[in-house]
Each structure stands twice: as structure tokens, then as C-alpha cells.
Amino acid sequence: MTDEIGSLVSRFAPAGSGRVVQVTMRTSGGGWGQSWRHGDDVTYPPASLSKVPLAAVALLAAHDGLLDLGRRVGPDEFHCSQFPSVTTALTTPLTLGELATLSIVLSDNPAAHVLLEAVGETLWARGVAMLGCPAMTLPVGYRDQDFDAMSTEATTVDEQVAVLRAVDRLAELAPLRAWMGSNLRNGRINAMVPPPHRFHHKTGSLDGCLHDVGILDVNGQTAMVVALTKDQSDPMATEAAMAELGRGLVGILTTS
């Protein structure tokens, strides 16, 4: 299995491709063991990947009584977006907890932006420290006018791994893992992961950037996968390569 996964990750992210990938296997004892990393190990704009720590921070704050996820948000409190949003069809309020769900399952930008405003800098700093990535900066926002600034934000493989480890480890984040398992946006690594296997994941997209990160469960084996890309001239080819990465991992894990 070691050679097979090593070959798979190197094919997805050859040097100079603007891609990086890390696959980490769960050990029989329940911890995380061997990792394979290949590609351009630099910083990448996180795009909508930042919605995972945002939802995690909200859940942690709510657990400790610092944020009311039952607070209701009216239809007139959401910004307009060029992208599809559940909020455009609302006639009744949604709770902050429901907005957190929508920010992951549908990657809903207006929902995520209202949640971001509710969290704010203080709860964000507290929460990302609990996640194990205290240097992670507060997202600039998820409004259309924020997209240029979003391209200047930065994340790394190590930062994404820290978030996934927290999602896997902390009982307070069990809802987030479930939301990631029901993610309905973008067919990337998950595109060729057939049931009953499950990829609990989140994607992120900006011009030239296509990401997918999550936890893959296959036949009782679990792999953490982080795939980040930028400067991709052919997004469809990149998504196809991610799908092949997912199919390859399922094939390896079902035969090992």
C-alpha cells in the first residue's frame, strides 16, 4: 500500500504543477500514522475551505455558551450574491446553526458571511487556537466584493491538516463532520467515491484554485486527504485529476 499511495500522490501533484496533496492513514489504535505528501508545498488561497474552521469556531463557542446558534436571522439580513443561495428564497428566519449547516453543505456565501459577522475576531482567535492553528487569520468575508481580497489570503497543508484533525478529534464538532459528509457542492475527490464509502469533505474555489480536503472512510479504513491547487489553467482537468485521486485511494484501500 505504501508504494501505491506514494505513486498516486506523485502523479496528482508533480513538482511545478501548482498542486500539493497529503494523504495520512489512521492507525489501528485510532491515531494518525503514515503520511505521503507531494507537490508544491507553498501557500494557497483557502477560498471556501475557510468555512470549515468558521463552522468549527461557531460550534466550539456555542458549546461553551459564548454564541447562541439559536439566534434567528431574518431574510433582509443577507447580502445579494451572483452565486446561488438558499437565502434568496427565504420568507422566514433561519438560525445561526442553520446558517453554519448551509455554509458547509451548500457552501452558501450569504449564510457564511452572516455567521462570520456573528463570530467576530475574538471568538475566531479563541476557536482557531483550540483547533491547533492559532495563526489562522479571520476570513475577509464571503460577499462578491470580497473575492479580490480572498485571493490574497493564504493557507497551507499543515493548517488544513490541523483543522481536519480537530474535526475528527473533538466531540463538539461531530455535527460539522456530518455536514461535511453531506456536502453537495463540486464533484472532485468525491466524484468517484461510490457508496457505501464516504468522503467527509469541503471544497474551495477561486480563479485558478480548486481545493478538496476531508476524511475518507473506506471498508473500515480511514484516510485524511488534503489537496490544494492554484494557477490551474484547465479547471476541468484538475477536477478530473482529483476524481482519479479519489478513485485510486478507494481502489487501494479496498484491496489492502
Closest CA to 67 of 104, 116, 110, 118: 118
The residue-averaged pLDDT of 58-81 equals: 95
Q: Are 204 and 227 in contact (CB under 8 A)?
A: no
* Nearest-angstrom CA–CA distance, 38 and 32: 18
User: pLDDT of 185-197, one tens digit each?
Assistant: 778 999 999 999 9
User: pLDDT of 227-242, one tens digit each?
Assistant: 999 999 999 999 999 9
Closest CA to 105 of 165, 70, 55: 55
Closest CA to 37 of 12, 20, 16: 20
C-alpha cell at 48: 471556501
Q: Is the pLDDT of residue 249 over 90?
A: yes
The residue-averaged pLDDT of 13-40 equals: 96
Lowest-pLDDT range, 64-73, 131-140, 177-186?
177-186
pLDDT for the residue 246: 97
Confirm whether 1-42+186-256 and 48-156 share one CATH topology. Answer: no
User: pLDDT of 97-117, one tens digit each?
Assistant: 999 999 999 999 999 999 999
36-to-189, 201, 227 alpha-carbon distances in Å: 16, 19, 12
CB atoms within 10 A of CB 183: 19
Q: Is the pLDDT of residue 84 over 90?
A: no
96-to-17, 67, 72, 105, 123 alpha-carbon distances in Å: 39, 9, 6, 14, 15
The residue-averaged pLDDT of 122-143 equals: 97
Q: Are 27 and 33 in contact (CB under 8 A)?
A: yes
Q: Are 103 and 115 in contact (CB under 8 A)?
A: yes
The domains of the chain are located at 1-42+186-256, 48-156
pLDDT for the residue 43: 97
* Nearest-angstrom CA–CA distance, 18 and 61: 36
The pTM of this model reads 0.96
Does the N-terminal peptide bond of residue 196 adopt cis geometry, omega within 30 degrees of 0?
A: yes
Q: Which residue has the cell 482567535?
A: 125
The residue-averaged pLDDT of 168-174 equals: 97
The residue-averaged pLDDT of 25-52 equals: 96
Q: Is the pLDDT of residue 89 over 90?
A: no
Q: Are 24 and 16 in contact (CB under 8 A)?
A: no
Superfamily of domain 48-156: DD-peptidase/beta-lactamase superfamily (3.40.710.10)
| Structural domain 1-42+186-256, CATH architecture | 2-Layer Sandwich (3.30)
